[in-house]
Copies of this chain bind each other. A is one copy, B any other.
């Protein structure tokens, strides 16, 4: 077993969905990523909060064994996001974003953080992601997540980050937007050409597509009858990936495929309730159950080659 480093945001979120609403609950990409990863390997968190950040949340992280020595507390308010989802549970709609202490966040890694072998650069400004990359001494695998905001406003800088990571994660709208094509296959292949060994396009209820060398793989979403709140699904997915790769201490193409199945299972928990409620309450055996269910959905039938020959009608007619 190896260990994982997660650099991202810790936030207080206010969210409204068709299933209810919550105010100032624990959120942020690093929170979701770290808790998810913590089910598989030791995790170090690098993020910033304000003086108002409730200590019980730090307790929740530490209860999951997360090393919070990189969670800096600065004077000022914690990063806040407020948004809502419509009935279709597509993308989040933002009401307000208050960066607060996050505005001056400059992640500085200590020695043990710099030596981290498996790293998840969660969604923050690409310039900061670059500075983290520059500080890493010997990363085995770096995972990168981003968002439309940076594709629109900092594409050049973002491209520099993409060129240097092993695994790029983005959702389908972002992939289409980045490559300016409606075709996901074309987008995935083009993103792969920028450098990452694996590109993972996240498609929510439609699962994910993996682009690896000359291969495209598909992993379905866990079949949920109800989503309560999609917030954090992508970060929880990525956290599962980085945590599981750290657990395996390896990241062959096949390992990454395994990790995507694990990430898929992890993401299915987080959307069942608001904030990290469900993810913090995963019971022994539940991850294994959901992984098996996803694998079962993927189970390929075996077709007899002879049945696929195609009826050679021209021959019978001529």
Interface residues of A (CB under 8 A from B): 38-41, 63-65, 87-89, 182-186, 189, 203, 205-207, 209, 215-218, 220, 223-227, 244, 247-248, 254, 257-258, 261-262, 282, 284-288, 291, 295-303, 305, 307-314, 316-317
B291 touches A310 (CB 8 A): no
Minimum CB–CB distance for A270 against chain B, Å:
15
Q: Which residues of B contact A261 (CB under 8 A)?
A: 300-301, 303
Q: Which residues of B contact A89 (CB under 8 A)?
A: 182
A189 touches B225 (CB 8 A): yes
Which chain B residue shows the least CB distance to A66?
B313
Q: Which residues of B contact A183 (CB under 8 A)?
A: 205, 224-227
Q: Which residues of B contact A299 (CB under 8 A)?
A: 217, 298, 300
Q: How far is the CA of A297 from the CA of B223 in the complex (A)?
A: 19
B308 touches A291 (CB 8 A): yes
Number of copies of this protein chain within its complex: 2
B39 touches A311 (CB 8 A): yes
A258 touches B205 (CB 8 A): no
Q: Which residues of B contact A310 (CB under 8 A)?
A: 39-40, 282, 284-288
Q: Which residues of B contact A287 (CB under 8 A)?
A: 308-310
Which chain B residue shows the least CB distance to A256?
B301
B313 touches A63 (CB 8 A): yes
Q: How far is the CA of A91 from the CA of B287 in the complex (A)?
A: 37
A300 touches B301 (CB 8 A): no
Q: How far is the CA of A41 from the CA of B209 in the complex (A)?
A: 33
Q: How far is the CA of A39 from the CA of B314 in the complex (A)?
A: 12
Which chain B residue shows the least CB distance to A224?
B185
Q: How far is the CA of A80 from the CA of B109 in the complex (A)?
A: 67
**A–B complex contacts, Cβ < 8 Å, 29 sampled:** A38-B311, A38-B313, A39-B311, A63-B313, A87-B182, A88-B182, A183-B205, A183-B226, A185-B205, A185-B224, A186-B225, A203-B206, A215-B296, A217-B299, A218-B218, A218-B220, A258-B301, A261-B303, A285-B310, A287-B308, A287-B309, A287-B310, A288-B305, A288-B308, A288-B310, A291-B303, A291-B308, A298-B298, A300-B300
Q: Which residues of B contact A282 (CB under 8 A)?
A: 310
Cβ contact of A218, chosen from B88, B248, B298, cutoff 8 A? B298
B262 touches A308 (CB 8 A): yes
Q: Which of A184, A285, A298, A305 has the most CB of B within 10 A?
A: A298
